[in-house]
């Protein structure tokens, strides 16, 4: 297949490397002034991988899109709407779009597929690719399991047949709402985990994992999804990579934030947390962890005050629905 990666950050570039490795014709696109694209063009390397000559690297968006059977978008979630406004000017008929990114639009609470579907016709189908794993691990040959989901059963099964290998095993998603919300929300829980690390309270991650999953499952159900999705690969299954790994941007952000240090990399969970608070209010769902993280990163309370507040909440049954 002819596959174009729209985005050349750590995920976009890794996916390009991976899909080339398993036999597809790959083009990686990025903005002409993006440092990542400049490095790829000049050296065909980044800090993780070396890219074969079979991969086309370009800043020509129209050419990259025109040759693609499948377009995989891997950019900042908050930039997706403006990017789709650009993409809609090109001919997208018959193409397949895969979102390999996690987030919720902070200004509207929209899921990412909802944003894309505002700018495409029925002739273009969209899917998501979510689940655990870091490019650093994959590039070292460490396998993992991920999920592809879509409103179109034929699309997700086709993509799984084309993308699967001994490095990544894909499962068929059955709940687009749950998989999108769960995948985005794990980044908020990742920030919470970093805050615990920064406070030297890492032993509380067990409680965070169990309560965080239950909290997000309630939101998924209220939004019309399957609450069990929170316990799958999109959310709980991604906790090891997000709550514990040294490669996790969101965990790293939370740890540095609580220590008063600057975090230089993208942490999608910051905006996602604000969006989750919005969704909690909209659907009438109590989200104490999400609200607490939002209060901390917005400066309303200190991390210690937030932790004390969570511990002093009214007594409830563990599985109070």
Positions annotated as catalytic residues are: 186
Nearest one of 129, 99, 100 to 114, comparing CA atoms: 99
Nearest 5°: CA angle at 303, between 297 and 307? 125
Both tokens of 314, joined, read 């009214």
In this structure, the strands spanning 2-6 and 25-29 are parallel
Whether residue 7 contacts residue 73, with contact meaning beta carbons closer than 8 Å, is answered with: yes
d(CA 169, CA 160): 9
d(CA 195, CA 272): 16
Q: What are phi and psi of 131, to 5 degrees?
A: 130, 180
Both tokens of 318, joined, read 């563990």
Q: What are phi and psi of 316, to 5 degrees?
A: -135, 160
Q: Where does 96-143 show beta strands of DSSP type E?
A: 96-99, 125-130
Report DSSP letters for 143-206, one per residue. -EEEEEEES-HHHHHHHHHHH--SSEEEEE-S-HHHHHHHHHHHHHHHHHHHHHHHTT-GGGHH
Give the ranges where the chain is alpha helix by DSSP (H): 10-21, 35-43, 61-66, 80-87, 112-117, 135-138, 153-163, 176-198, 205-222, 239, 249-258, 269-283, 288-297, 303-311
């Amino acid at each position: 297949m002819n596959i174009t990666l729209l985005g050349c950050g750590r995920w976009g570039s890794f996916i390009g490397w991976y899909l080339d490795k398993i036999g597809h014709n790959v083009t990686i696109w990025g903005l002409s002034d993006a440092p990542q694209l400049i490095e790829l063009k000049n050296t065909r390397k980044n800090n993780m991988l070396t890219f074969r000559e079979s991969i086309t690297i370009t800043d020509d968006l129209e050419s990259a899109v025109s040759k693609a059977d499948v377009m995989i978008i891997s950019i900042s979630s908050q930039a997706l709407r403006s990017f789709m406004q650009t993409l809609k000017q090109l001919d997208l008929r018959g193409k397949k779009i895969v979102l390999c990114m996690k987030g919720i639009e902070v200004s509207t609470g929209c899921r990412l597929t909802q944003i894309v579907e505002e700018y495409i016709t029925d002739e273009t189908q969209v899917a998501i690719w979510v689940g655990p794993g870091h490019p650093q691990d994959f590039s070292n040959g460490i396998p993992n399991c991920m999920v592809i989901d879509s409103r179109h059963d034929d699309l997700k099964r086709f993509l799984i047949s084309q993308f699967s290998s001994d490095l990544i095993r894909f499962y068929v998603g059955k709940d687009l709402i749950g998989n999108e919300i769960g995948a985005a929300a794990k980044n908020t829980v990742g920030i919470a985990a970093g805050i615990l690390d920064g406070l030297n309270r890492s032993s509380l991650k067990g409680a965070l994992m169990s309560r965080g999953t239950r909290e997000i499952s309630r939101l998924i159900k209220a939004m019309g999804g399957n609450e069990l999705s929170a316990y799958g690969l999109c959310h709980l299954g991604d906790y090891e990579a997000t709550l514990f790994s040294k490669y996790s941007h969101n965990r790293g952000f939370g740890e540095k934030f609580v220590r008063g240090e600057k975090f230089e990399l993208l942490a999608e969970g910051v905006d996602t947390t604000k969006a989750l608070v919005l969704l909690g209010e909209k659907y009438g769902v109590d989200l104490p962890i999400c609200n607490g993280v939002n209060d901390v990163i917005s400066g309303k309370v200190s991390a210690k005050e937030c932790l004390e507040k969570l511990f002093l909440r009214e007594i409830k049954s563990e599985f109070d629905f």
